Chain A
Amino acid sequence: MRAGLRLIPFAFGLSAAAFAVEPEAPQSAPNAGIAIGLADSAGLRATVFGTPPQDMASLPAKVPLSEINAELPWRLPVPRILWFDSKLRVWFSAQAKPAPLAIVISGTGGDGNTKTISVLRAALYGAGYHVLTMPSPTSPEFIVSASSTGVAGDLMRDGKDLYAAMQEIIAHLPRKIRITDIDLVGYSLGGANAAIVKSIDAAEHKLKIHRVVMINPPVSLFSSVGRLDRLFAATIGAGDQGVELLYRRLYAQIANLYRASDRLELDENFLLSAGAASLRTDADFSAAIALTFRLQLVDMFFIGDLYAKTGLFTDPKHPPKVSDSLENIQRELRAKPFADYFTQVFAPYYLKRRPDATSASLIASNRLDIITDALRDDGDYYAQATDNDVIINKRELTWLQDTLGARIIVYDHGGHLGEVGDRQQVADMLDMLSGSWPRSAP
């Protein structure tokens, strides 16, 4: 066990690097010119390393935590190889007295307890909220346990599933937890999810969601993912060979650092610091960002194929068994951009079920501007963005600013989520949630 399980957190340290974005544009022609210059150097670095510990807001010493596993009645039949995803796992931190509830939604592929979530949870709990943290509708566990389709990435459909899951969970919480108000916080894709959920609730009034704060949200899901796909192509290369080259380089660098270190054991801390030391250039940061996102996409793509019975990687008549190796499928999937998910799984699935839809309309319906009116006119939508975010371009940022007006703040640092947890971000988020934003308002 010592030898075995000990190293394992490393696996998740990497995959939980907490990225979050979402599906993207198949037809947006790759533009090699902008591919590398998607964000400035500081933005890329902040995206990879996050907020430096010394810049963190002051966080409470202790945050109580409960794990909640929910069995949702509308769950589709669970494929045998995904037995471990049959329940939706969310996390709850309860205040001892009546308090408002903040629901935090994870970014693309993220579960309900990522590093980013932990920081937001601590900040919100410290400010007196009950905190419920939920996985992204694009995470494997959500797709299996809570999705009504199994094919993730449709903003409105995912939003409805998420909204239903929230209701189910809140309705069954222990009675002693007294909730006075409900607010949403979402980061990255979760930000877009949160806004959509509020807009659904505005029509259905089942939860009476009050305010929403979106942190680094995408504007067009598909164009954000397209940027990440281009980043992958530009820094890692097409196909799986690029991943193999990257792996070989990292392996050699870490092995050399280790050989020179006189250490007797390769522990998690060493691995992470050696890995970090091996990432030096913008190209390295970009590769790390692109690969992290790609690995999330691999899971979503595989599960989508399994549920939609597309037959790309698995034979619908003979679904894979627990004992079957998935390594070759994983390798094959690593080489595939989001555009392939869109054209081969997502679009066929939704076009079949929505007779009026076209590929173009599917892309258009996955933009935040489907709720433009609400975002513009309802004063309870807020956003925190950065001007060097990898996943959105200037035009999209301008659209957010034009639409939200004074209810958005744009930081000059942080890249994608690299500002989460810093003093300014936390203070602003809490002001937005409590309705005292903007502070300088007359």
Chain B
Amino acid sequence: MKAALLAGLLAGLLAGALEGCASQVLSIRTVPDQTPAADNAAAAANAAAFAEAVAAESAAVSAPEPQEAPPLVTPADAPPMYTYDPWERLNRFTYRFNARFDEAIFLPVADTYRRAPRPIRAGIHNFFDNLAEIDSVINYTLQWRLKFGWRSLTRLAINSTIGIGGLFDVATKLKLPGTPTGFATTLAKWGMHPGPYLVIPLLGPSTLRDGVGFLADYGAEYGINVAGMYRGSVSWGLGTANAIDQRANINFRYYAGGSPFEYETIRFLYVRRRLIEDEGLHSKEPVKKAPVDIPAGK
């Protein structure tokens, strides 16, 4: 029995290997259709909206009212270009693992999923977004930003009822757009620095603070366990669907440009983005002077 199994396995492996060789020179994979006309129409619409919004924002920055003007960030306040990454060796291995996993499994599955009709995908996406709203309510409360907490709570109520269990995002149509938050942002609001850069297996770029935030969000959702998403007979299926939905909505390909320095580039951009978001959280307070010569994030 065992021998037969082993032989079968070997034959399978051999066939696989041979196919690998014979798969000749090319491996061809169909990816989702491009939609140039729609993309361009969207770009045109965005360009107009951006021009307006940015002009308004520039005006706010360049002509601050003397009383309530938020203090300005000066170039000297920018964190250094170096990023704090004491776990770099491990992080680099994790990054490679993530890239390989993404290429072999995550992305092909997400691409297949993208072929499902748009309304179905939108429904699934809305459903998971709606569940995440619970965590946003909790965290906006912890951050003491009750206006947004109230908005999230209202969204949750509207979408869970009129939106049929979250399948339709009715709230956004009622001018209540979603603004998800999490415990990582709560920690930032409480004044915690991003800390060391951290590449989380499967999830990707993060920092110690954001990683802790992620765990806390997960813990909270696990504890509440709405829709049996985290515990129970359907949790695996729902969890997988959630992961695929998220991946399908992220327009990123590991090593798309093939640069040898992608790890550095992503780390740089990720941490800078988080630091700017932190600046936004503390926009009413004086700008913190970044200590010179200490890598960003420390």
Contact = CB atoms under 8 A, between A and B. Distances in A.
Contacts of A10: 269, 273
Contact of B258 (A59, A72, A85): A85
A85 B277 CA distance: 34
B33 A8 contact: no
Contacts of B255: 84-85
Contacts of A261: 53, 57, 280
Contacts of B47: 52-53
Interface string B28-56: 11111111111011011011001001100
Most buried by B among A3, A85, A244, A252: A3
A8 B252 contact: yes
Which bucket holds chain B's interface residue count? Answer: 35 or more
Contact of B184 (A3, A109, A244, A302): A3
A273 B40 CA distance: 16
B57 A66 contact: no
Nearest to B274: A3
A82 interface: yes
A174 B26 CA distance: 10
A251 to B, nearest CB: 4
A8 B78 contact: no
Interface in B220-262: 243, 246-247, 250-252, 254-262
A139 to B, nearest CB: 6
A84 to B, nearest CB: 4
A406 to B, nearest CB: 31
Contact of B75 (A70, A172, A249): A249
Given A84-B255, A85-B255, A266 B277 contact: yes
Interface in A71-125: 71-73, 81-85, 87, 92, 109, 111, 113, 118-119, 121-122
20 contacts: A2-B246, A6-B250, A7-B269, A8-B204, A8-B266, A11-B269, A12-B256, A53-B41, A63-B35, A64-B30, A111-B257, A113-B256, A168-B25, A251-B276, A252-B73, A255-B78, A255-B280, A259-B73, A259-B279, A271-B273
Interface of B: 24-38, 40-41, 43-44, 46-47, 50, 53-54, 57-58, 60-61, 70, 72-79, 81-82, 85, 88-89, 92-93, 96, 99, 148, 179-182, 184, 200, 202-206, 210, 214, 243, 246-247, 250-252, 254-266, 269-270, 272-274, 276-277, 279-280, 283
